[in-house]
Amino acid sequence: MAFDEKEFLACCGSSKFAKEMALASPFSSLQAAVTTARDIWFNKVDVNGWLEAFDAHPQIGKSAPSNHKSETSAQWSKGEQSTALATATNSSLQELSDWNARYRQKIGFVFLICASGRSTSEILAELKKRYPNRPIIEFEIAANEQMKITELRLAKLFATKAEAPSAYNPHLMTPGKKAEEDRVSIIGAHLTATSEAPSGKTSQITARTRPPITTHVLDVSQGCPAAGMDVKLDMWVGKQSRPSFDGNDVGGGWVLQGVSTTDKDGRSGQLMSIVDAVNPGIYRISFNTAKYCPGGFFPYVSLVFEIRETQKLEHFHVPLLFSPFSFTTYRGS
């Protein structure tokens, strides 16, 4: 699917990023576009380009100026902040504004966070937590938050221009129907990928505030979060380093790490302890789809993935985009 420079500028306010993405277009799938975007953002866009992208964002709690260089970006920004604005009070907005001003005066640029799905209190707590950081650390964090936003917006860009079923799964979307476009828009607002820096750029923050493995379930048939779905996390343990494909496993088995149920936003609770370094190994996250959708095709869905020694400080967000007769996933990083 082909896009122009203006469309990519709506995804990320760096002119260099938009130009490089347009040169790399067309893309065979959303995944291909995201992979290219990460490479360009972390390896080709310089410091000035990062600052240009940061500056394209309005302060959290405020709207983009009317003369914003991308009207689409301004509209998306408003949608991404909708949860924060819906949960705000006059006093919390004032406190957020005050802390934003303090942050900008100390750090030198706007406080940047992927705000989609976050309440005002959550954003304010994160701002206060990050405020003591040195500017160089915040620069790295902000770059990662920008990449999360970019991935979210690329998904929206593909959804709005799709003339064929979504690249993520052939059953997720069919074109030409306003109701289905609305569902995609709602789903896009919930795709809050929690990313870590790709190879070559590692976060300098090691203390976690959440478990290293998280998930988020979206019901693409309804265009809303899948609330009330049971989720469990297991780890493979034993002499055999990994489970075999044919199931003839000797000297090993799955050990339960935790269970939870998705909340009204489709997010699971804590599936494992909050630790700085997760144990490397094979993990399996399972979703009780039959309980959520008794008439669906899948009695349950299990996703198996490996965390390597070099990845033990990273965060792994494993979202599930589900409908009664199809599902897809990807690593949100």
Residues labelled catalytic: 57
CB atoms < 10 A from the CB of 275, how many? 11
Alpha helices in 217-315 (DSSP H): 289-292
Q: How many CA atoms lie within 13 A of 256 on its CB side?
A: 5
58-82 burial, b at 16+ Cβ within 10 Å, e below that, comes to bbbbeebeeebebebbbebbeebbe
Rounded Cα distance between 50 and 241, Å, is 41
Q: Tokens for 227, please give them.
A: 């609330």
CB atoms < 10 A from the CB of 18, how many? 24
For helices 15-24 and 30-43, the axis angle rounded to 10 degrees is: 140
Among candidates 146, 140, 137, which has minimal Cα distance to 38?
A: 146
Rounded Cα distance between 235 and 60, Å, is 38
Rounded Cα distance between 236 and 251, Å, is 11
Rounded Cα distance between 291 and 324, Å, is 11
Rounded Cα distance between 212 and 279, Å, is 10
